[in-house]
Amino acid sequence: MAERSQSAAGKYMSTVKMGPKGQIVIPKEVRQLYNIRPGDSFLLLADQDRGVALIPQSRYQEMMTLFSQAFSLAFPPEDPS
């Protein structure tokens, strides 16, 4: 059984176990908190130091805009003159 703890409004912490097919179950409380339904799509982000994040499809465009802005700051266009 997963260990669960809900400490503050809008926050949730739980342990989950990966099954033999590489799947985890998102706890019911989290699905309710984020209104996650069967068939919903997510963008999975992974960082070796910071962990894994699931971004709901409804936030893809926001994430891509932020990525584009960060990329433009890191690699500004060259001046053609």
Q: Which of 33, 32, 27 is nearest to 4 (CA)?
A: 27
13-72 per-position pLDDT tens digit: 889 999 999 999 999 998 998 889 999 999 888 999 999 988 888 888 887 888 888 888
Any idea which residue has 């990966």 for tokens? 18
Instruction: Tell me the domain boundaries of the chain.
Output: 1-38, 41-76
Radius of gyration of the chain from its Cα atoms, rounded to whole angstroms: 18
